[in-house]
Amino acid sequence: MWFSTSKAGAAAAVVALATGAQMALAETGLLSAQDSDPTVMGWMQGFPPPDERLITQPDANYFSFPKLRWSVCHLREFLPTEEISRGTGAPIALSYPSPARFADLARQIDALTFRPTNATEDMTWDQSLYANYTDGMLIMHKGQVVYERYFGCLREDGKHAIMSMTKSITGLLAEILVAEGVLDDSLTVKDIIPEIGQSAFATATVREVMDMTTGVQYSEDYSDPEADIWVYSRAASPLPKPADYDGPDGYWEYLQQVGPEGAHGEAFHYKTINSDMLGWVISRVTGKAVTELASERLWRPMGAEMDAYQTVDGKGVPFAGGGVTAGLRDLARLGQLMLNEGALNGKRVFPAAVAQTIAGGGDQSKFSGFPSIANGSYTSQWWVFHNDHGAYAARGVHGQTIYVDPTADMVLVRLASHPRAQNGFIDPTSLPAYQAVAEFLMAQN
């Protein structure tokens, strides 16, 4: 394939943001979180940095560990992006306990112990943050920030790629449109986008796309150069296509030629192309890019303190399946808005039914393939645990999450750059930690 050298980096990384692809074998094995800290590694230090510390866009490894740990905070420096504007006014401040109380909570939470699901010994909360290559952790309880900590490349005023958590923003926007009657989730894609043509998506309902129960062909066998993931990567790359390129150009052209695999509506299959299909549906019914809609419906009304941004393909279409980069506190604002069922300081940002529908979850009988979320479901591009706390989450590869625990009145946001791009490696030391901190907080006055 033409796509084997420098162009592979940018293009494949675009997709890796969402799908869990790793672009190359780790160069240094599994360095610890401390040893792979971008500052320790010296990435991009100096003016100019020495060659061996440069991370450049043509470098096919820029989104592989350990460079990944720097690049997750710097995606816009590699790729074209579109802004998700917070607007121009003052942010809505987050609430904090007194500094003394905040520090006391930090000490207590750091010392919490829990048993990882893959271990025979307990681990402390503090240890888990390093085990999971955490870059940012923020916990809200009863609407107050009770824990906040930055590592690696992330700073309070920085931003971090959220990978597949992007899908949950796309799904939330769709759910808002459904609740408001703008989008009928019982329509088929072809009803809304006639030019989807003979694509397997044509006959899927919007709800099936939202819940990823479509029967569409999308292979992620990275060893097969003709696998769909590579065709998708080439289509999605914002770099100029080679002169002899005759494949689809952009996310939406890719979607027009997707083949069938199984029947719609029968089972959950986690395939990123559903999120991009949903992005197109959203833009068609609203006449707005998902970036603009995320700004209008979420970032502005929730009083975000920073703009977010989203990578785009060569035609300016935002990557609805994985392209967003955002700030830790703004993601906490988003999670709190979900926990509050759309209400913020007495105003309504979106109908309560939106968060209720998502929290209620999807069809568990159709869900499988994610052992760490046994008995779970996936609906409106959110993961629902169906546990005794009624928790649900946005999740991204490399360990990103917005974890909403309604029972504990807790929202937890984690940004991370775990070397392994699958939450299956990360859940054993994070999901029980979240449960432990939730129980701790519930026991507080």
Residues 280-299 that bind its own copies (CB under 8 A): 280, 283-284, 287, 289
- Applying CB under 8 A, which of residues 25, 50, 88, 100 lies at the interface with its own copies? 88
**Which tokens sit at 162?**
């959220």
What's the chain's Rg over C-alpha atoms?
21
CB 19 within 8 A of CB 272: yes
The one catalytic residue in 36, 64, 164, 233 is 164
Contacts of 4 (CB under 8 A, 6+ apart): none
State which residue, 40 or 112, has the beta carbon closest to its own copies. 40
- Applying CB under 8 A, which of residues 38, 116, 152, 238 lies at the interface with its own copies? 238
- One symbol per residue from 103 to 142: x for binding its own copies (CB under 8 A), - otherwise; what is it? ----------------------------------------
Establish if 50 lies at the interface with its own copies (CB under 8 A): no
Q: CA-to-CA distance for 139 and 14, rounded, in angstroms?
A: 29
CB 151 within 8 A of CB 129: yes
CB 332 within 8 A of CB 140: yes
Establish if 329 lies at the interface with its own copies (CB under 8 A): yes
CB of 184 to its own copies, least distance (A): 18
- Applying CB under 8 A, which of residues 1, 39, 58, 356 lies at the interface with its own copies? 58
Q: CA-to-CA distance for 102 and 105, rounded, in angstroms?
A: 5
State which residue, 91 or 97, has the beta carbon closest to its own copies. 91
State which residue, 90 or 100, has the beta carbon closest to its own copies. 90
# residues near its own copies by CB under 8 A: 53
Q: Taking the alpha carbons of 211, 232, 326, 149 in that order, is the dihedral positive or negative?
A: positive
Residues 91-110 that bind its own copies (CB under 8 A): 91
CB of 426 to its own copies, least distance (A): 28
- Catalytic site residue 164? yes
Q: CA-to-CA distance for 397 and 341, rounded, in angstroms?
A: 26
Which region among 80-88, 102-110, 257-265, 406-414 touches its own copies (by CB under 8 A)? 80-88
CB 202 within 8 A of CB 322: no
58 phi/psi in degrees, rounded to 5: -70, -5
Contacts of 32 (CB under 8 A, 6+ apart): 130
Q: CA-to-CA distance for 25 and 395, rounded, in angstroms?
A: 23
CB 384 within 8 A of CB 394: no
Which region among 55-63, 97-105, 270-278, 429-437 touches its own copies (by CB under 8 A)? 55-63
Task: Please report, as ranges, the residues that interact with its own copies according to CB under 8 A.
Answer: 5-7, 9-10, 44, 47-48, 54-58, 74, 76-83, 85, 87-91, 156-157, 238-241, 243, 250, 252, 280, 283-284, 287, 289, 305-307, 309, 312, 314-317, 327, 329
